[in-house]
A and B are shown apart, each in its own frame.
Chain A
Amino acid sequence: MVKKLLRSVRDYKKNTITTPILVTVETILEITIPTLMAVLIDNGISKNDMTAVMWIGAALVLCAGASLFLGILAGRGAAVASTGFAKNLRHDIFYNVQSFSFSNIDKFSTASIITRLTTDVTNVQNAFQMIIRMGVRAPVMMVFALIFAFRINAQLSLVFLSVIPVLGLGLWLIISHVHPLFKKIFKSYDKLNRVVQENLHGIRVVKSFVREDHEIEKFEEVSKSIFDDFSKAEKRIAFNMPLMQFCLYACMLLLAWFGAQSIIASGNTPGLGLTTGELASLITYTMMILMSLMMLSMVFVMIIISRASAERIVEILDEKSNLVNGDNPVYDLPNGSIDFENVTFSYSDKGGKPVLDNINLHIESGKTVGIIGGTGSSKSSIVQLIPRLYDVLSGSVKVGGTNVKDYDLETLRNNVAMVLQKNTLFSGTIKENLRWGNEDATDEDLIIACKLAHADSFIQDFPDKYDTKIEQGGVNVSGGQRQRLCIARALLKKPKILILDDSTSAVDTKTENMIREEFNTGIPDVTVIIIAQRILSIKNADKIVVMDDGCIVSTGKHDELIKTCEIYKEVYESQDRGLGL
């Protein structure tokens, strides 16, 4: 897991390596400085020797200056390394999410991806920074202090070793209890994000049903579970510091007890046993070890918190798209013909009733095909297989005579434009949104596409025309306007196949008619597939496919179907009656 994460260090490797080195040198200097201080007192102040004070003082200032310089370098290096690492992590996660297929996307909720990209990355960033700074400083300090302690009196210093098992056991207990809690906490974070997100998106529903209190209750429940688990976890982590203190204080008392005996036994004679001065030094080093242990405990806490976060990040990094280019992908899509051969499809590979069952369908290039069928009859599912948004379970889908799996994905999708049922506009101007279809489209191209989709007229009515800002989710244009913008956006791709998944449901009949007319004259060579509820929308299609419950019931022209297909006839009559003419 760590290895996987460290792959994101990349261009910040230099800083990641130099920082610990700088910190090490800085720490050594810092340990040296107190020795110099002692010298200053012993040789300068005590002897009332001002020259010595000046000289040693100068040396001290020099050391402090060097330590300051290194400290600043290390601090800046750590900042760059850790925030750079975080930047790369976010980059890697985001790009990996971009490579996801539809079924990968379905697996992670938006809220959860957001938490991972922000909260989790921040946790890892903090831990990373702590590790390369304090995580280096503390052990260096501890090792030096231990070395000095052992040099003074190895026997007595064994006391330090005696607390290691206590410390180890304590830490192990804390980790093993806290880690699962943090796993739970971050799941709750996902939930919290989700509730907020759903409220932001669905505020009109909340407000019109006057469900504010209900939502608050829901939120408070999640908020409380975060409070409960986080409190529980932090309360356990709170044992960390007292544990360290306990161990160190114990050492100190043991040192005092045995040290005192040793001093008395030796008569405070250097060489024979311990002296009072040595005992004082031992205690000073113990304090140093305590300090470094405190620092380590802070690092330790960060590591516990970030471990759960790291696991969540790796989970996304490890998720590999199940839709990838095959070997030697085809980059040329000759025409817009489509063939379904014995296609069976299901959203989950766990079995169950397939969504599409043994579909066979041939569509000639340049024809217009209508698909009609009841709610939930898998109309959307069938067309999503054409640009290979999902892979078939068995059988094959061919476009231009070649299996979609053999195409380069981008080639395929650039040639198969699809207006999704749940279409989305992004915040930005109308122009920017339209250029999603084609980055290099000129203003004229945009207008041509919008005229085809019958969007130009209303865009021209906006004060800012094509530079009108679209708010997120496109809330500031009406449903029908949004649909027409989405169609124009798809048209700009100049595709060989255009799929409209119920994309004119909010467009009035007259306008819809006009769009169809425009299509007939404007893009005659494009294969157009229209999923619609209204027979009117597809009546003139070259071929109409009637679907029911995942199967194709019937195909043919309007005039044939009206005679042969019972379902079609029923739909037709229900609508014809509706027209009242």
Chain B
Amino acid sequence: MSGAGGFRGRHIVGSTAGGKRAKPTFKKGTFKRLIKTMSEYKVHLIFVLFCILVSSAAGAGSAIFLQILIDDHIMPLIGVENPSYSGILQVILVVAFIYLMGITATLLFSRIMVVVGQGTLKKIRDTMFKHMQTLPVKYFDANNHGDVMSHFTNDTDTLRQAISMSFPQMVSSVFTVVAAFSAMLYLSIWLAIFVCFYTVLLLAVAKLLVSRSGKYFMHQQTAIGDVNGYIEEIINGQKVVKVFCREDKVGTEFDSKNDVLYKAASEANKYGNITMPVVNNLGFLLYVLLAIVGGLLGIIGVSNLSLTGWNVMTVGTIISFLTLSRSFVNPIGMISMQFNSVVMALAGASRIFELLDEKPEQDEGTISLVNSVIEGDIRFDGVDFGYNEETIVLHDISLYAKPGQKVALVGATGAGKTTITNLINRFYDIADGKITYDSKNINDIIKSDLRKSLGIVLQDVNLFTGTVMDNIRYGKLDATDEECIKAAKLVNADGFICMLPDGYQTVLDGDGSSLSQGQLQLISIARAAVADPPVMILDEATSSIDTRTETIVQKGMDALMHGRTVFVIAHRLSTVRNADVIMVMEHGRIIERGSHDELLKEKGKYYELYTGVYELD
């Protein structure tokens, strides 16, 4: 008496709970794609690079400033009677000017990076959402909603820090490193080569740490998606949790997911946090090694090669070199620290690209319905369908609905009624057979045109946050207030809407919890009514509406259905009895068809389903 498979959803067998589990490795090419995303800010970025250069140059200027001040301006004045400070003032003013430029440059690049960073984030969010809208219904069935939401917040957020802070710091550090290294070459090529080798070692260690933290950051983002998913599902069903006193159980399960997140996050941060001290202190080691090597070279008397040519390794050279090694290693430490926020961003980006790589719904349809007169003739010809290949839920369905006919689908729950309607609007594609719409194969019709011509009221009411008026207008975005009210009146929703505190302007929360289920159904019917489509599908559209109201609604519904092809799924005879043809379904097959009177006479399944009560009496 019941169906044998998944209905309206994804395959049951072997499904993965909670949707996709991201592998804890980055998607290939994530970095490149991220850079590509930012490519529209090329000009901004070039300007930023320039500003960073100015800013770091000004910073570096401080070192030279002191030397010049002391050597060229202070020392000559010592011992002089009535010294004139104008020279000093001049130098200070010049440096002040340089500093001012540096400060301005800092301000400029920081502000431009805000635009670049936030702009990129917005672009990523918008692209993701746009892409999400193109995905097939299957994707939404299979993926944990909270996890998908996490892409828009937690994953996108990882990029913010990386773009607006880490990027400029890394660039400025790179400048400093390059400057310091050139200066080193200028002093001693031997020692510079030594530093080179050491740096390779340093980077190897840093890479090891960063790749470790990278792995855990990926775990962290996956875990946070999982936690997000769990929260979303539980908070959404919070009232059920309360009714079943499952607060503790749910809490325990949350704790275990929370713990997974904690472990990943703490590991990621551990490796992230120790990068800086490791690199820093290895820098001190370099200092000592340089002192020893330099000292030895000096003592042995090796002739020194520098960019200026061969010369003697003096004590002064070694001292300068040692000082330089500090300004060489410090920024490397900075870079390796920033690397952590970069790998975290890559972890987020990797998940984002995973969403963007989901295959969109295919639409190979070419026939437009826009300018054609739609008759509303729908035929199924030997249609087989299964949500997955193993389980076929619809077998050899053939039916036709002539223009203006009302076709009712009845049958025990799970017989495959909703599935049929899901095929007409192509939420899923059939395995075998053919569905035609006005003699055109529906696969050849442009999907959006096809769907626009079908008005659907679904079993589960989904309204959107906004006013009642907005929700009705959802059926036809350019409908006037009058049109919406007319539609509401038609389905008898006007009465209760006017009783609401703000009438049509009453704001509904996400799940419309302030209204009863029946009222929500009325609004969703009004929404379909305002769309005025040639074909309508009503799937248990009035199941939560009391029959007295339904009788009144029925008049409106009859008026609504007049002249349209209508598919009705309902348990109430009142809803289906005046249908032109009733299809009785069982186990994915049509077992009886005919008008109400004919079927009753037949005393078959239909008779049994709807009159069982009286027999029992």
Contacts and interface: CB of A to CB of B under 8 A. Distances in A.
A574 B574 contact: yes
A214 B241 contact: no
B288 to A, nearest CB: 4
Interface string B76-103: 0111100101001100100110010011
Could you tell me the dominant secondary structure of chain B's interface residues? helix
Interface in B145-202: 145-146, 148-150, 152-154, 157, 164-165
A461 B550 CA distance: 34
Contact of B465 (A72, A198, A234, A379): A198
A319 interface: no
Interface string B254-273: 11001101100111111011
Interface in A100-156: 100-102, 105-106, 109-111, 113-115, 117-119, 122, 125, 129, 133
Interface residues of B, number: 200
B413 A508 contact: yes
Contacts of B62: 252, 283, 287
Contacts of B132: 196, 199
B516 A428 contact: no
Interface string B486-506: 000000000010000100000
- Measured as residues with beta carbon below 8 angstroms from the partner, the interface class of chain A is 35 or more
B413 A68 contact: no
Q: Which of A196, A227, A507, A574 has the most CB of B within 10 A?
A: A196
B27 interface: no
A261 interface: yes
Nearest to A222: B125
A502 B517 contact: yes
A163 to B, nearest CB: 14
Contacts, number: 556
A76 B269 CA distance: 8
A198 B10 CA distance: 20
Contacts of B73: 260
Interface string A360-389: 000000000000111111011000000101
Q: Which of B142, B262, B411 has the most CB of A within 10 A?
A: B262
Interface stretch (B133-141, B398-406, B557-565): B133-141
A203 B222 CA distance: 24
A457 B1 contact: yes
B307 interface: no
A70 B251 CA distance: 37
B233 A427 contact: yes
A246 to B, nearest CB: 5
Contacts of B614: 581
Given A110-B236, A463-B391, A513-B616, A90 B89 contact: no
Given A214-B477, A471-B10, A574-B574, A426 B299 contact: no
Contacts of A202: 462-464
B4 interface: yes
Contacts of A580: 573, 577, 596, 600
Given A45-B294, A194-B465, A209 B243 contact: no
Given A45-B319, A67-B277, A223 B122 contact: yes
Contact of B474 (A209, A374, A462): A209
Interface in A71-94: 71-72, 74-76, 78-80, 82-84, 86-87, 90-91, 94
A279 B66 contact: yes
A570 B547 CA distance: 9
A53 interface: yes
A91 B255 contact: yes
Contacts of B273: 74-76, 78-79, 129, 133
A50 interface: yes
A423 interface: yes
Interface string B548-573: 11110000000000000000000111
B214 interface: no
B235 A475 contact: no
B233 A68 contact: no
Contact of B245 (A201, A279, A413): A413
B118 to A, nearest CB: 5
B237 A95 contact: no
B50 interface: no
Given A45-B315, A60-B287, A216-B129, A276 B237 contact: no
A193 B518 contact: no
A334 to B, nearest CB: 19
A370 to B, nearest CB: 13
Interface string A256-291: 110011011001100000001001100100010000
B37 interface: no
Interface stretch (A335-343, A441-449, A477-485): A477-485
Contacts of B8: 475-476, 478
Interface stretch (B109-117, B374-382, B437-445): B109-117
A510 B612 contact: yes
B149 A102 contact: no
A494 to B, nearest CB: 13
A226 interface: yes
A458 B414 contact: yes
Given A98-B251, A100-B238, A238-B114, A574 B107 contact: no
Contacts of B149: 114, 193, 196-197, 200
A570 B548 contact: yes
Given A53-B295, A468-B12, A571-B546, A241 B106 contact: yes
Q: Which of B7, B413, B596 has the most CB of A within 10 A?
A: B413
A322 interface: no
A3 interface: no
A65 interface: yes
B414 A477 contact: yes
A6 interface: no
Q: Which of A61, A118, A481 has the most CB of B within 10 A?
A: A118
B579 interface: no
B387 to A, nearest CB: 8
A510 to B, nearest CB: 4
B137 A427 contact: no
Contact of A208 (B79, B456, B463, B611): B456
Interface string B604-617: 00001111111010
A414 interface: yes
B1 to A, nearest CB: 6
A509 interface: yes
B284 interface: yes
B284 A33 contact: yes
B45 to A, nearest CB: 16
Nearest to B597: A580
Contacts of A502: 517, 544
A242 interface: yes
Contacts of A109: 509-510
Given A206-B133, A283-B66, A472 B247 contact: no
B594 interface: no
A481 B425 contact: no
Nearest to B512: A422
A84 B110 contact: no
A210 to B, nearest CB: 5
A118 B228 contact: yes
Contacts of B609: 508-510
Contacts of B543: 479, 505-506, 533
B143 to A, nearest CB: 8
User: Top 9 A-B pairs ranked by shortest CB distance?
Assistant: A480-B413, A71-B277, A476-B9, A578-B574, A75-B273, A458-B2, A202-B462, A375-B518, A79-B269
17 contacts: A40-B288, A68-B277, A79-B269, A80-B266, A113-B235, A133-B273, A198-B464, A210-B451, A245-B106, A267-B78, A375-B519, A424-B240, A462-B5, A463-B390, A471-B142, A481-B7, A510-B610
Given A76-B274, A264-B78, A580-B577, 16 more contacts: A64-B288, A68-B278, A79-B265, A83-B269, A212-B134, A227-B122, A231-B115, A234-B118, A414-B245, A420-B240, A436-B240, A458-B1, A471-B141, A472-B233, A510-B609, A570-B548
